[in-house]
Structure 1
């Protein structure tokens, strides 16, 4: 026997094949690859979300145009209201004269009207019509209010012309022409009341409060009338 005494258990241990040590470099490589893949995925996903949610140039342009249109419309509403007030000031003497010349309540007969009176009414009506000439283009609601007021002014100018023509007639022809002038005046006042009501609503929506630019009407003419809210007040 050799001097070296080797036990069977030791021989088994010596002859057992060694397990390779874990490759730490490979493990870190896999971790790094996963981290890079995750980062790339986050970047790609973030880019997709940004691309889907950011306003594109067309939407930005549309938003800008809408904002500019809203600001322009607020300015037009204010200008139209001022025009309506100045026009009402021109037309009140005309309506007062016509109400005395063509009363509809039956309480008094027509008063004497001179040719100079009629000429003054014609000039005032023509100036009112001119005030609505060449209107700017605005939002639909503003255009409707302006068109209603402009139409009413033209109808009232026609009323004055009809009355002037009736003055030169006699008998049934004169009576028929006067009746036509009365109906034209009623139509003009009704049309104005539509425009004034629309203008009041526009001012409320624009933040200017109630603006009651109405013309005086008789109860039987069926025109719209202003509400009871104070001038310049806002709906609660």
Structure 2
């Protein structure tokens, strides 16, 4: 008797077949997107590495930048340290210059007259003491940036000139006649040079203070009209 074979036919719904095809298409798309993203990321990393290698400062450039930063910080500290003695010496030398102006007036007395009286030796001694203290305030010059050194040099030069003026005046008092007049005239010229030099340093000091953010610092001396000396700007003290 012949065997009868039975085969069971399984019917797959069309919707399931379409779903699997769509899933496979999505997976393929994701793989392509992932491959593109990976390639882009690797390309960006390689490009970034190349740019960094090309633009990264060398060890020498890093050293230069570090030294420049250290110099700027040191200069800022020196500017602050210079400003305080500049204020102190301004008060000291103003006292001296006021006394010298009375003893050696720039203009002759109105209506003639015998001229100014000699300053008492005690006053001259006080001038010398004040001038020496002002000179001492600038005895240790900084080694900073050029503008700071210029400010210090001019301020120091001015107070030294004032000290020399006092000495010249004191020596003139031991003379008589034309010799005394000649030496006194020399002292007047020295005083004028000091008054002219001081504002140069004061202006330079004002500029460097503004440059580092400390604001305007006015340490100029009072200047008489027509002296040709620089005067402080109209900006408010410590304003930027």
TM-score if structure 1 supplies the norm length?
0.77
Q: Say which of 58, 61, 67 aligns to 1:59.
A: 61
1:221 is paired with a residue whose SS is: coil
Question: Aligned with 2:226: secondary structure?
Answer: helix
The answer for the alignment partner of 2:204 in structure 1 is 198
Counterpart residue number, 2:177: 171
Q: Which segments of 5 or more consecutive residues in structure 1 lack a partner in the other structure?
A: 1-37
Question: In 2, distance between residues paired with 1:41 and 1:65?
Answer: 37
User: Superposed, which structure 2 residues align to 1:212-223 within 5 Å?
Assistant: 212-223=218-229
Q: Which residues in structure 2 correspond to 1:45-56 (within 5 Å)?
A: 46-56=48-58
1:97 equivalent in alignment to 2:99: yes
Matched, 1:139 2:145: yes
- Across the aligned residues of Structure 1 and Structure 2, the Cα RMSD in angstroms comes to 2.1
**Which segments of structure 1 move beyond 2 Å, counting only runs of 4 or more?**
38-50, 105-109
Distance, in Å, in 2 between the alignment partners of 1:72 and 1:224 is 28
Superposed counterparts of 1:36-185, under 5 Å = 46-107=48-109, 109-185=115-191
After superposition, the C-alpha distances for 1:127-161 in whole angstroms (9 at most, x for unaligned) are 11111112120000000010000011111111001
What's the secondary structure of 1:103's corresponding residue?
Answer: coil
- Give the drift of 1:111: 3.7
Q: Would you say 1:208 and 2:214 are equivalent positions?
A: yes
Q: Which runs of 5+ in 2 are unaligned?
A: 1-39
Shift of 1:210: 1.2
Per-residue deviation, 1:50: 2.3
